[in-house]
Copies of this chain bind each other. A is one copy, B any other.
Amino acid sequence: MRRFLTDRARRAVAASLRGATRPAAPSPAPAAALSRPSPSAPSAMAAYMARAMSTSAAGTPPVSLDTINPKVLEFKYAVRGEIVTHAQQNLEQELHKNPESLPFDEILYCNIGNPHSLGQQPVTFFREVLSLCDHPALLDKSETHALYSSDAIERAWQILEKIPGRATGAYSHSQGVKGLRDEIAAGIAARDGFHASGDNIFLTDGASPAVHMMMQLLIRSEKDGILCPLPQYPLYSASIALHGGSFVPYFLDEETGWGLEVDELKKQVDEARSKGITVRALVVINPGNPTGQVLAEENQKKIVEFCKNEGLVLLADEVYQENIYVEDKQFHSFKKIARSMGYTDDDLPLVSFQSVSKGYYGECGKRGGYMEVTGFNADVREQIYKVASVNLCSNISGQILSSLIMNPPKVGDESYESFMVERDGIISSLARRAKALEEAFNSLEGITCNKAEGAMYLFPRLHLPQKAIGAAQAAGAAPDAYYALRLLQATGIVVVPGSGFGQAPGTYHFRCTILPQEDKIPAIISRFKEFHEKFMDEFRDVSRDEAPTGATIESGGD
């Protein structure tokens, strides 16, 4: 077996943390970047000022870091942040040039929910329909029946009939093709048992642009706040920062499996208001990202009630609605919950985000998705439409795929059985992977990990020895970022430090996807374990007397 942390690799880690491997690097050195725990921290401002001064000294180019929009400069997006950049830009090239120089032979991207990049195969029926809609001339040819299933051909016809002029190359209505929106609405109604309307659907290039649209609509200034979970998917903090609003965090409770408590929401809203913040909306990610919890129905009811009472827009990130891995939990949309409580369109502004990138399909590259917008005045709805219209429309393939995931093959369709085999195979495999990784993490000294009830991630907590925290501080890095970089350098496994998602003060985590193909999981676990044990051996505290205030140095679980 390879040695996981050679002296050479160890030196590379240290050099990388100092930024020394890239003396003329185009990016801020990893250490400097990692040392900024939050966009608004003093160190970020210091770095900003330092850069501004150094740029000025070099002359006055038309555009420099001191003359760009400071909101752009300050926001962070850790999912594609420094750790993954280091993997892509440095280690991949190194592996390519000199495969023997690193203690691993491939990089395993566990940083992002991107299933197809790790070998997940597309669902055949969906791709058949997309392929036919891309080249409708095929539908007139008899040879097509030799290559495509008959229900895919039939579905392609149905979809083309919904598109004016059958023109998949035309801009659609800015909300998306009406017939496809109606089909999605029918799928929502079938899922929830409550009415849904195609007029309320806004098709988008994935869920991210939809989130940006809502932030753009709701945020007027830094006096407008958006309640977001911590830990959170950093799209939210990034979008709020880019639109100039205030991020109002509420903490999920790790002790209760990342529970979302209304008391905590209330406390944070009151505190934000006492600072003069107008809280506009509550973001709930269910199933959770990065935390993987699935909310209970009773909990959801309390959240709806809270939004109603406090006059908040409920922004429900429901992109993992098909990713449920435990028997005792089920996905309920917030709209279903609200309607089941008797609330109508008049009572509560509610936006549900859905994406073709997640679920069992995982079609990230198609950039499809939608938001269902209910409970807004007609005149506000018109403003949302206007924002959508500036980019004209979302891509038609993504629109078609959005309709397919909300209306997959049914019993009796030619593709139904093979479709179900593909679908169930993916979901049950993801459930097994989640369980295997969770158990592995929990078996290790200094790691505790909640179950992934849903979504695509585990978010283990690192109980780091004080010596490791000290080493990170010496390198100018957040402790979990230091750990993640060491992990990468030793094993090629790319995870995202918990500091990229936010976490309770004094706690450290990382997010790891459950997406590597199942046959690779044992090797990943063994590589991970070996690294982690050596890391703990390297840094294990000799005495508890060294513990500083605020740092967690337990040797086992909580």
- Which residues of A are at the interface with B, using a C-beta cutoff of 8 A? 26-28, 51, 55, 60-65, 67-70, 72-73, 75, 77, 79-80, 88, 112, 114-120, 122, 124, 127-128, 130-132, 134-135, 137-138, 141, 143-144, 146-147, 164-165, 167-174, 205-206, 208-209, 212, 216-220, 235, 238-239, 242-243, 280, 311-313, 349, 357, 362-367, 376-383, 386-387, 389-398
Contacts and interface: CB of A to CB of B under 8 A. Distances in A.
Contact of A171 (B70, B112, B138): B112
B134 A380 contact: no
- Ranked nearest first, the 5 interchain pairs of A and B with the lowest CB-CB distance are A26-B378, A131-B135, A117-B170, A367-B395, A116-B169
23 contacts: A26-B378, A26-B382, A28-B379, A63-B349, A64-B380, A65-B377, A65-B379, A67-B220, A69-B217, A77-B390, A114-B170, A117-B164, A119-B165, A120-B169, A122-B169, A127-B137, A131-B135, A134-B134, A138-B147, A147-B147, A169-B363, A366-B397, A367-B394
Contacts of A114: 170-171
A365 B217 contact: no
Contact of A205 (B64, B170, B391): B391
| Most chain B Cβ neighbours within 10 Å, of A124, A131, A170 | A170
A131 B122 contact: no
Given A135-B128, A169-B365, A379-B28, A349 B391 contact: no
A365 B205 CA distance: 12
Contacts of A62: 280, 311-313, 349
Given A313-B63, A377-B61, A382 B27 contact: yes
A112 B170 CA distance: 11
Given A143-B147, A392-B364, A379 B171 contact: no
Given A206-B392, A208-B390, A390-B239, A68 B380 contact: yes
B117 A127 contact: no
Contacts of A366: 169, 395-397
Contact of A80 (B115, B144, B389, B394): B389
A375 to B, nearest CB: 8
Given A62-B312, A65-B383, A69-B218, A134 B131 contact: yes
Contacts of A206: 391-392
A167 B378 contact: no
